[in-house]
Amino acid sequence: MQSKETRTILITGCSSGIGYACAHGLRERGYRVFASARKPEDVERLSSEGLEALPLDLDDSATIRDAVNQVLSRTQGRLYALFNNGAYMQVGAVEDLSHTVLRAQLETNLLGWHELTCRLIPIMRNQGYGRIVQNSSVLGLAALAYRGAYRVHGPSPATMPPTSPGLRRILSSRRLDQVLTWTSDSGRR
């Protein structure tokens, strides 16, 4: 297993919030952090802040593939951890949201995570170690007004937690860890 000083982690959704804070916090603790973001200007900003930043849009299979390839080429084919954090919330009354809007959220928040995770599991299995962190939301546990779509169609909130125990059991037989976190908005900006 990689020592703490050389542990590498790919984090999605680093343009702001939890992903941003974790990218900087883990780098300060000695991890080699690959901070990803969807928008080019966010990738540039993260790079200027000293992070190894790369584009990754969870709606785009090509950027998922390219990001994985970039990370693995920079780390001699090894990755200690994946932190699935990138997601978004579609705000509004559920009856006012179109199927197109809900499908787009599902694509990002569930299917994008799934595709990225599936690309990295074989790498972790081959190296004999790895950790996958699925960052969920407390909104998966409690519905709030105008946040119902996130609970029903969100990645983490409603769809990732039920699949996480099965993934954890499969991965643990290969010395791989899968962790599910439940976070909330602290109200601070």
Output the tens digit of pLDDT for each of the chain's 189 residues: 555 547 999 999 999 999 999 999 999 999 999 999 999 999 999 999 999 999 999 999 999 999 999 999 999 999 999 999 887 777 788 788 888 988 888 787 788 888 999 999 999 989 988 988 888 765 556 666 666 665 554 444 445 544 555 665 566 666 666 666 555 554 444
In angstroms, the CA 78 to CA 8 distance is 8
User: What is the amino acid identity at position 39?
Assistant: K
* Partners of 32 in the β-ladder: 8
Is pTM beyond 0.95 here? Answer: no
pLDDT of residue 91: 78
Domains of the chain by residue range: 4-183
Judge whether 31 counts as a catalytic residue.
no
CATH number for the region 4-183 comes to: 3.40.50.720
In angstroms, the CA 179 to CA 105 distance is 23
* DSSP tally for the chain: helices H, then strands E: 7, 6
In angstroms, the CA 133 to CA 26 distance is 14
Catalytic residue, candidates 20, 31, 80, 150: 150
pLDDT of residue 135: 82
